Amino acid sequence: MGPRRIVTGIVDGRSTLISDGQVNTDAPKFWHELWTAGPDNPQGSAPDPAAVAADPNLDPGVTALRLIELPPYRVVLEMLAKIKQDVTDGAGFHATTTLDYVLMLDGPVELALEDGSTVQVNAGDVVVQQSAMHAWRNHNDHPVRMLAVMVGVPKP
């Protein structure tokens, strides 16, 4: 199971506790949807883990709070070699139609960019990712976690 999610809201004009429970993170993906919102649902809702798409892109105006659990880079490469997908290249480079605010919870992790530059991102660091092609490389022997608020934007 994942983190505890506490949701508050307003009922009969007063603030109240709406829900308090563990987030199901059993789906075999690199990320877990903790909350989503959009133009048709501005307060948002807890997504059904089974219904979350494998595509990390979001429609413009949709937001998602995601817990990302990045396995060691060697594991990522093995996984990418075994699956047919259109989201990344074989080295993990990908771009999403999102503006991402990423807080590194664990670390370090390497952020690689198309121009060949890399930067080490440590626990507590924040990355603002603007729909750019990039790859996360975890050179540790254990998963690292990131918390991301992702906002869907039009394709650049």
Q: Nearest CA to 110 among 139, 71, 86? A: 139
**In this predicted structure, what is the pLDDT of residue 83?**
67
Residue type, 44: G
Peptide bond into 143 cis (omega under 30): no
Residue 152 has pLDDT above 90, yes or no: yes
Report yes or no on 23 lying in a domain. no
Q: What's phi and psi for 11, nearest 5 deg?
A: -130, 130
**Is 98 among the domain residues?**
yes
Q: Which domain holds residue 138?
A: 28-152
Would you place residue 119 in the very low, low, confident or very high pLDDT band (cuts 50, 70, 90)? very high
Residue 90 lies in a domain: yes
Mean predicted confidence (pLDDT) in 68-83:
85
**Rounded to whole angstroms, how far apart are CA atoms 73 and 64?**
24
CATH code of residue 59: 2.60.120.10
Distances (CA, A) of 60 to 38, 52, 117: 9, 17, 29
**44 part of a folded domain:** yes
In total, how many domains does the chain have? 1
Return the closest-CA partner of residue 149 out of 8, 44, 10, 26: 44
- Give the separation between CA 17 and CA 9, rounded to whole angstroms: 6
Residues near 8 by beta carbon (within 8 Å), at least 6 away in sequence = 15, 16, 17, 18
- pLDDT tens per residue across span 25-73: 665 567 888 898 999 988 988 776 656 666 688 889 999 999 999 999 9
Give me the chain's average pLDDT, please: 87
Q: Classify residue 12 by its DSSP letter.
A: T
Q: Which of 15-19, 45-49, 81-85 has the lowest average pLDDT?
A: 81-85
The encoded tokens of residue 86 equal: 């259109």
| Within a domain: 20 | no
Residue 15 domain-assigned (yes or no): no
Give the predicted TM-score (pTM) of the model. 0.85
Provide the residue type at 68 as one letter.
I
Question: Does 6 reside within a domain?
Answer: no
* pLDDT of 129 above 80: yes
In the chain, count of helices (H) and strands (E)?
A: 1, 11
